[in-house]
Amino acid sequence: MYESRSRPAGDAASVAGSEPEDLGPAIDDLATPIWVFDLVTLRIAWANRAALAFWKADNLAALRDRDFSDAMTPVVRLRLEELERGLRRGERLRETWTLHPDDEAVTVTCFFTPLPREGGSMAMQVEAHVVEDEATLQDRRAVEALRYAATIFLLIQDDGALISFNPLAAAWFPGLSGAQGSLVADILRLEETEARTLLSAMAERRAHSSEVEVPTAEGRRWMLLNARPIPDPLSGKTAYLIGMTDVTDRRRLEEERRHYENTLRQVVETAPVPLVVSRPLDGQLVYANAATADLFGVPVESLIGRPVNGYYLSTDARQEMVDRITEDGAIDRFNVTLCTARGRPFAASVSARIVSFKGEPAILAAITDVEADTVARRVLADALDRQTRLNEAHQEFVSMLSHEFMTPLSVIDGAARRVARRLKGPDEDGESAAWIQRIRDAAGRITHLVSEVLMAARSDNGLLTVTPEPTDVCALVETVVDRHQRIAPDHDIALETCGLAESIAVDPQVVDIVLSNLLSNAIKYSPGAGHIRVKVEGNGDGVAVAVADEGMGIPVNEMDRIFDRFYRCSSSGSIPGTGLGLDITKKLVELHGGVLWAESEYGRGSTFRFTLSTDRGEASTGE
């Protein structure tokens, strides 16, 4: 019947060993079952013969050993604790209990007498009277159920004084124990207004229900309090049965949900995306956020409750959209033309889902004004179109350059060379030869310029190619150096080669163009005269070339821009140039698996260095 794991196991025999004799043989002979229950060990310590029969025990020792753990539910424990509190106050108590002597419920009216023990622990004498009348049994059963209910019950008089309460009430409100007759509002420490409302409901014999926050053994808790009038069976007067359930967790969850809903509402209200909810059948708008009102140029209130059809340029388009949503449950980026309140049409993209709004199926739609995007896309497409046409024109111009310029230029140069050859001899005219040389120089400069432009265009179109072949690099660089020495006789160009194999796999054309560009720059940017040193070294990976001059040098803050297309240093002044040479040179070197870089001291000269890798197979910018 009873169980207590929280209590220390005491010695049942200590009660049983001394007190049976004290109780006397007369008690043993009584027809009423009487036993001693130890409230520490929660076991029976002694029982008279009638009690042994009641508990269906063969002898006292067997009954003492009986374990009541299974019956010791939390409510039973609460009830026992409350009982113990009463006994400690010296009260003799009468209560109805349902006991299970042999798996069968027996309702008994018990009289409990306190048996305080040395050391302060408590035992009690239990005198049990079996209730046999069926009607009484049913009533008892109802009372028991009330006692064990998981709801706190208080029975109070109509003036608010406490009559009775169940064990759960005593556990939650320890102040109730022994407080019969005191005002419940005071014991529960109800707020004044709450206490008044309860009392006035009771005065009018009304039922009352409210949620109150009260201090309990578990701290401050919210309780749902229900008070309803019932007749007091003893006095016949109107009493009140108060039921209380802890609703703190529910209130906390509700509070959290309210907070969450508020946040969500705020998010939706202030979302920069227009959001609307409409009814699928009649197309009536049931919700629209502020962004929607802005988009359509009307206050939110004038949108709600009106049909959305008016905002579609074509109602067919809306119908098609609704059909698709109904069929698939959703649509994504449906393109449609909408109209503002003033009738201005605009392109929009609508994504929508079927949702439940206030219990009804509804369409939640997010609208994106794509008008601005469409315009921007059109502008971009136009720009792209223009650029493509420009590129085509550029291509045409470049191929025109190569045919219409290069051909006449080589004709001019060839003709000038022939005339020069004829002039050589006995009747050589020195002045004419100088003129012819000027024609050839001018033609050479234009040829160089045109070939730079052509090369840049080929680089843009991925047409620059590198085709390594076994090359006598030493002879090749000598040729290039000689050519430049002839063009610039005032400059002193020194060539130093070392470690070069007889044949190295490089693209001779690339070597020629790169070295020529660097040499002509070295000459150009060393106005007057000066020493130029060209050093060509063979290394395991290919060749390393350095072209050093003692010219004007490059300003420090412009060093990292000299390889940019069309960039010309502030120091280049009136020296002719296009800013294309280094850009092309760098691309060719890189295409050949090498690197090109420059070192310079402004006012004292520059050194350009590059490497070419030999393990570079055929390559092109179009790879």
Q: Considering the rule CB under 6 A, would residue 523 count as an interface residue with ligand ADP?
A: no
SS3 347: strand
Can you say whether the dihedral through the CA atoms of 550, 552, 555, 558 is positive or negative?
A: negative
The two tokens of residue 54 are 């009641």
Task: Quickly list DSSP for 477-515.
Answer: HHHHHHHHHHH-TTEEEEEEEES--S-EEE-HHHHHHHH
Q: Which two tokens stand for residue 328?
A: 């698939």
Q: Which stretch binds ligand ADP (CB under 6 A): 225-233, 234-242, 439-447, 571-579?
A: 571-579
278 or 521, CB closer to ligand ADP?
521
Nearest-approach distance from CB 582 to ligand ADP, in angstroms: 3
Strands 605-613 and 596-601: antiparallel
Cβ proximity to ligand ADP, 367 vs 513, nearer residue: 513
Select the span of 11-19, 57-65, 151-159, 568-576 touching ligand ADP (CB under 6 A): 568-576
Under the binding rule (CB under 6 A), the answer on residue 178 touching ligand ADP is no
Q: Among residues 402, 461, 578, 621, which is the contact residue for ligand ADP, using CB under 6 A?
A: 578
> At closest approach, how far in Å is the CB of 333 from ligand ADP?
49
When asked if residue 459 is in the footprint of ligand ADP (CB under 6 A), the reply is no
Residue 543 class from Cβ within 10 Å (0-12 exposed, 13-18 middle, 19+ buried)?
buried
Tokens of 84: 């113990």
- Rule CB under 6 A: say whether 444 interacts with ligand ADP: no
Secondary structure of residue 136 in the 3-state scheme: helix
Q: Which is nearer to ligand ADP, 198 or 554 (CB)?
A: 554
- The smaller minimum CB distance to ligand ADP, of residues 190 and 545, is found at 545
Sole binder of ligand ADP in the list 515, 522, 589, 612 (CB under 6 A):
522
Stretch that binds ligand ADP, among 62-70, 77-85, 249-257, 545-553 (CB under 6 A): 545-553
Span from 211-219, 424-432, 460-468, 519-527 in contact with ligand ADP (CB under 6 A): 519-527
Site residue total, ligand ADP (CB under 6 A): 22
Residue 581 near ligand ADP by CB under 6 A? yes
Say how far apart CA 290 and CA 373 lie, in whole Å: 22
Window of 287-295, 330-338, 424-432, 552-560 that interacts with ligand ADP by CB under 6 A:
552-560
Cα dihedral 82, 84, 88, 89 sign = positive
Task: Please identify, using beta-carbon distances, which residue of 251 and 565 lies nearer to ligand ADP.
Answer: 565
Question: Could you give the CA distance from residue 219 to residue 217 in angstroms, rounded to a whole number?
Answer: 6
Single-letter amino acid code for the residue at 341 = A
Is the CB of residue 131 less than 8 Å from the CB of residue 96? yes
Contacts 24+ apart (CB under 8 A), 355-364: 355/277, 357/277, 357/286, 357/287, 358/286, 360/279, 361/280, 362/277, 362/278, 362/279, 362/280, 362/286, 363/277, 363/278, 363/279, 363/280, 363/322, 363/325, 364/275, 364/276, 364/277
For ligand ADP, the closer CB: 280 or 555 = 555
Closest distance to ligand ADP from the beta carbon of 518 (Å): 7
Judged by CB under 6 A, which of 101, 167, 508, 551 binds ligand ADP? Answer: 551
Minimum CB distance to ligand ADP, residue 368 (Å): 49
- Report in angstroms how near the CB of residue 602 gets to ligand ADP at its nearest: 9
Map residue 390 onto helix, strand or coil.
helix
Judged by CB under 6 A, the residue of 212, 582, 588, 589 near ligand ADP is 582
> Quick one: 470 or 603, whose CB is closer to ligand ADP?
603
CA atoms of 309 and 283, how far apart (whole Å): 7
Residue from 108, 241, 536, 562 touching ligand ADP (CB under 6 A): that is 562
Residue type, 456: A
Q: What angle do CA 123, 125, 128 make, to 5 degrees?
A: 140
Q: Is 451 one of the binding residues for ligand ADP (CB under 6 A)? A: no
DSSP secondary structure code for residue 161 in this structure: B
CA 116, CA 247: separation in Å to the nearest integer?
39
Smallest separation, CB 580 to ligand ADP (Å): 6
Give me the residue label for tokens 């409302």.
Answer: 197
Should residue 508 be labelled a site residue for ligand ADP when binding is judged by CB under 6 A? no
Q: Which is nearer to ligand ADP, 384 or 556 (CB)?
A: 556
Residue 516 is a binding residue for ligand ADP (CB under 6 A): no
Distance in Å, CB of 564 to ligand ADP, minimum: 8
Report, in Å, the least distance between residue 562 CB and ligand ADP: 4
Q: Work out how close the CB of 293 gets to ligand ADP at its nearest, in angstroms, rounded to a whole number.
A: 60
Q: What are phi and psi for residue 241, nearest 5 degrees?
A: -100, 120
Q: Which among 190-198, 206-214, 424-432, 563-571 is the span making contact with ligand ADP, rule CB under 6 A?
A: 563-571
Question: 289 or 600: whose CB is closer to ligand ADP?
Answer: 600
521 touches ligand ADP (CB under 6 A) = yes
Task: Please give the Cα distance from 86 to 176 (Å, whole number).
Answer: 12
Q: By C-beta, is 39 or 591 nearer to ligand ADP?
A: 591
Q: What are phi and psi of 299, to 5 degrees?
A: -70, 150
What's the angle, vertex CA 385, arms to CA 382 and CA 389, rounded to 5? 140
Using rule CB under 6 A, residue 555 touches ligand ADP: no
Decide if residue 554 touches ligand ADP (CB under 6 A): yes
Range in contact with ligand ADP (rule: CB under 6 A) among 237-245, 258-266, 508-516, 546-554:
546-554
Alpha-carbon distance 484 to 523, whole Å? Answer: 9
The residue behind tokens 């179009």 is 622
Looking at residue 397, its amino acid is F
Distance CA 590, CA 613 (A): 9
From 150-158, 484-492, 562-570, 614-622, span contacting ligand ADP (CB under 6 A):
562-570
Q: Does 530 bind ligand ADP (CB under 6 A)?
A: no
Verify binding: residue 349, ligand ADP, rule CB under 6 A. Answer: no
Among 606, 611, 612, 616, binds ligand ADP (CB under 6 A): 606
Contact between 525 and ligand ADP by CB under 6 A: the answer reads yes
The interface region with ligand ADP, picked from 134-142, 405-413, 505-513, 578-586 by CB under 6 A, is 578-586
568 scored as a contact of ligand ADP (CB under 6 A):
yes
Q: Can you spell out the DSSP letters for 268-332?
A: HHH-SS-EEEE-TTT-BEEEE-HHHHHHHTS-HHHHTTSBGGGGBS-HHHHHHHHHHHHHHSEEE
Residue 610 in the binding site for ligand ADP (CB under 6 A):
no
Footprint of ligand ADP (CB under 6 A): 521-522, 525, 549, 551-554, 562, 567-569, 571-572, 577-583, 606
